Amino acid sequence: MSLCSIYFSFLVLACAAFASSQLTGPSQTLSASPAAFTYNNDSFLLKGEPYTIIGGQMDPQRIPYQYWRDRLSKARAMGLNTIFSYIFWNNLEPNQGAWMSEDPQNEVAEYFKIAQEEGLYVVLRPGPYICGEHEWGGFPAWLSEIPGMEVRTNNTPFLEETKKYIANLANKSHLAELQVSRGGPILMVQVENEYGSFGENHNYTAALRDIIRESFDIPLYTNDGGVDWTLEGGHIPHVLAAVDGGSWALPARDLYITDPTELGPLLDGEYYTWAPDQWGSHNPHNTTVGNADSVSSIVSDIDYHLGNYSASISFYMVHGGTNFGFQNGAMWQNRTTVFTTSYDYGAPLDETGRTTDLYFKMREAILPYVPDGSVPDPPTNLPRATVPQFELCPSTSLFETATSRRNAASPLTMEALGQSYGFTLYEHTVVSTIEGPLAVGDRPRDRVLIYVNDRIQGVMDSQYQHPLTVSVSLQAGDKLQLLVENLGRVDYYSRGNPYRNYLQDPWKGVKGDISIDGSILSGWNMYPLQLDSVPVQGCSNTSAGNKSLSDLPRFFHGSFIGPSTSHNSSMTLDTFITVPNGIKGNVWVNKFHLGRYWLVGPQQSLYLPGTVVKPDETNDVVILELEPWQMNSTSMVVYGSPERFWGNNPDPDCLKCI
């Protein structure tokens, strides 16, 4: 940047500060006392002194709240001075108007207070869209049922709900009082998230800027990929422009951003430590383990950012955590690709919060750029627990728990039924003989198990490039049953790709008519199965070997005696739960929903946090196995291991599918 343009940038920022506090760039060098946090053309300024952000991403709602301090202290011991965090709107407001900030897992203000106690500042990334491989990019499912709603656009219904959300974060979740301008740790707020890859409506992003400005008085910034079209689409006047993606992206900011009110110090807002995992027989686990070249590249990029460029950086992720329950997202690339329950990400802190070889390599690269003696020593990793193998017996079928019924001539979507996650059962009683190929709405949304009179007929799955055709032959009085699983709403769409934009078409269940050989079936009973709670009764007296029963998705029950704690820490109860004879399903321990398992991999075990385990007591385990007809046993076995397992297997429902 030339001296003339630097001087011009300073004049614009100073004049804007004098004219309007809402539209200013943050530089306040003409004030009598320095702002708590601001920036000039070259540097961030913390209490008037240059400040290089050495940050890392970790999201409080992906980490058991009892472990927040452990994870944050380890981030500080790695050499970080700042934590970047997404906020998941769908968790804070699962039902419209019901703000759940008092749920300990959603007490994000407490998380930020702990960060401050551990010597960390915070960058807030509230969205409202956050991507993050999270369910619908953080949007609550009920948004889709508001008339006229269109997310991520200059849309009145969307902006009205966003305004309420941001105000609730500031006031009900008490984040406004945690701004650095009021003595708290929050330095900056990100506006939207990589919007330039999605759109280029600057009226929308300016409206978001103004909404956030109503609740927060600290600097704002945008974060976009380091290429021309994303930066040009995502920039916002009077908001600092940052890039993401790696060292190659840094020069692009000053090349493509020309508005001086958007310029300032360089920030790589997402330097990727590795990548998330997606379910699939051909999708290996993403890790730097055994990949010395990748580790070397990360280390050299740290030197490049902090040394050559004197740029700030945030590592995405420093700790990924877990998409517990049904919280994983998905992508659409002419088929659905679904992110795993594990959000390990190959990060420096693994899914259980233990330090890795990558952690120490990155720490070693960071230390030359921080004051001597300012970084605490990292702790020694605590051992994880072993749970000996135990057996679970079959209990009730999933269909037997379907008690809440809606009737309609045509099928309703999951959202129209007031449901956000889980499964929806659609039942139709046949009135006359009919046979032929089955069509389920406009497409499978997402995985459809097809039954006639409780007997499995086939599986249709949007994860397959070409979903299987299932034909049925029905007689009058037969019962056609479709169990539709929401595998996770799409969390990302780029305007640069040729695929349909399912970020703005999030509906699950069945959208459209159900037909056989082109004949539309009318008259449906629909049962929402969100599984906020699961059956607690024990084993069934009915023979699980009965074919008509074993076809149906079934709950299995069992228990284990929790290990004893050691080192005075519940982390020593952490373990990885494996279901070796399971096909596809979900696991709950002591009513806590761990998430999904699926033998196709790459994830072959589920993280069970020690915070869930009762030491030296009985711990209840419930498994929902969706495909018991594929099992070679009428019971299930489970064990817990201190080491986790990754691997891939063929999909028994579609051996030739990709």
Q: Which residue in this structure is represented by tokens 């627990």?
A: 385
Does residue 136 form part of some domain?
Answer: yes
pTM higher than the cut 0.85: yes
Please give the pLDDT value at position 192.
99
SS (H, E, C) 253-266: HHHHCCCHHHCCCC
Averaged confidence pLDDT in the chain: 93
**Nearest to residue 20, comparing CAs of 217, 199, 246?**
217
Residues 495 and 543 in one domain: no
**Do 437 and 344 have their domain in common?**
no
Query: Which residues in 11-44 are b (16+ Cβ under 10 Å) and which e?
Result: ebbbebbeeeeebbbbbbeeeeeebbbbbbbebb
pLDDT above 70 coverage of the chain, percent: 93
According to DSSP, the residues that pair with 428 across neighbouring strands are 480
Whether residue 453 sits in one domain with residue 392: no
Residue 654 belongs to some domain of the structure? no
Q: What is the C-alpha separation between 16 and 219, in angstroms, rounded? A: 14
- Residue at 532 is within a domain: no
315 shares its domain with 240: yes
CA distance 334 to 336: 7
- Per-position DSSP letters for 482-543, written without gaps between them: EEEE----B----TTSSS--GGG----B--S-EEETTEEP--EEEEEE--SS-------SS-
194 is catalytic: yes
Residue holding tokens 């011009």?
Answer: 8
Helix (H) or strand (E) run with residue 111 in it:
helix 108-117
Is residue 237 domain-shared with residue 89, that is, in the same domain?
yes
Give the pLDDT of residue 223. Answer: 98
- Domain of 597: which CATH number? 2.60.120.260
List beta partners, residue 49. Answer: 46
Structure tokens at 127: 């969205």
Both 212 and 315 in a single domain?
yes
- Do 444 and 340 have their domain in common? no
Residue 625: inside a domain: yes
Q: Is 353 exposed, middle or buried (0-12, 13-18, 19+ CB in 10 A)?
A: buried
More confident residue, 211 or 29: 211
Instruction: Assess if residue 14 is contained within a domain.
Output: no
Angle at 84 between CA 505 and CA 577, to 5 degrees: 70
Q: Examine the pLDDT at 646 and tell me if it is beyond 80.
A: yes
Among candidate residues 118, 133, 161, 194, the one labeled active-site is 194
Q: Is residue 652 situated within a structural domain? A: no
Q: What is the pLDDT of residue 247?
A: 87
pLDDT in tens, 297-347: 999 999 999 999 999 999 999 999 999 999 999 999 999 999 999 999 999
Question: Do 299 and 181 sit in the same domain of this protein?
Answer: yes
Percent of the chain with pLDDT over 90: 88
Of 501, 498, 422, 417, give the one whose Cα is nearest residue 137. 501
Phi, psi (5° rounding) for residue 498? -85, 5
Examine residue 93 and state whether it is found in any structural domain, yes or no.
yes
Q: Per-residue pLDDT tens for 14-54?
A: 333 333 333 334 444 334 478 999 999 999 999 999 999 99
Q: What average pLDDT does the segment 65-70 reach?
A: 99
Q: Catalytic site residue 625?
A: no
Selecting among 270, 485, 625, 627, the annotated active-site residue is 270
Overall average pLDDT of the 218-222 stretch: 99
Residue 11 in any domain: the answer is no
Do 478 and 577 belong together in one domain? no
Count of the separate structural domains present in the chain:
3
Residue 280 and residue 205 share a domain: yes
In this prediction, residues 281-296 reach a mean pLDDT of 95
- Burial status of residue 290 (CB atoms within 10 A of its CB: 0-12, 13-18, 19 or more): exposed
Q: Which of 446-450, 495-499, 536-540 has the highest mean pLDDT?
A: 446-450
Residue 271 CB partners (closer than 8 Å, separation 6+): 244, 245, 246, 301, 305, 313, 314, 315, 316
- What pLDDT is attached to residue 468? 84
In this predicted structure, the answer to whether residue 10 has a pLDDT above a threshold of 80 is no
Same domain, 96 and 181: yes
pLDDT value, residue 540: 72
Which of 339-343, 464-468, 545-549 has maximum average pLDDT?
339-343
Rounded average pLDDT over 146-169: 99
Is residue 585 pLDDT above 70, yes or no?
Answer: yes
Q: Give the pLDDT of residue 634.
A: 87
Structural domain of 601: 387-396+539-641
Q: What is the pLDDT of residues 597-624, one digit of tens each?
A: 999 999 999 999 999 999 999 999 999 9
Task: Check pLDDT > 90 for residue 657.
Answer: no
* Shared domain check, 554 and 454: no
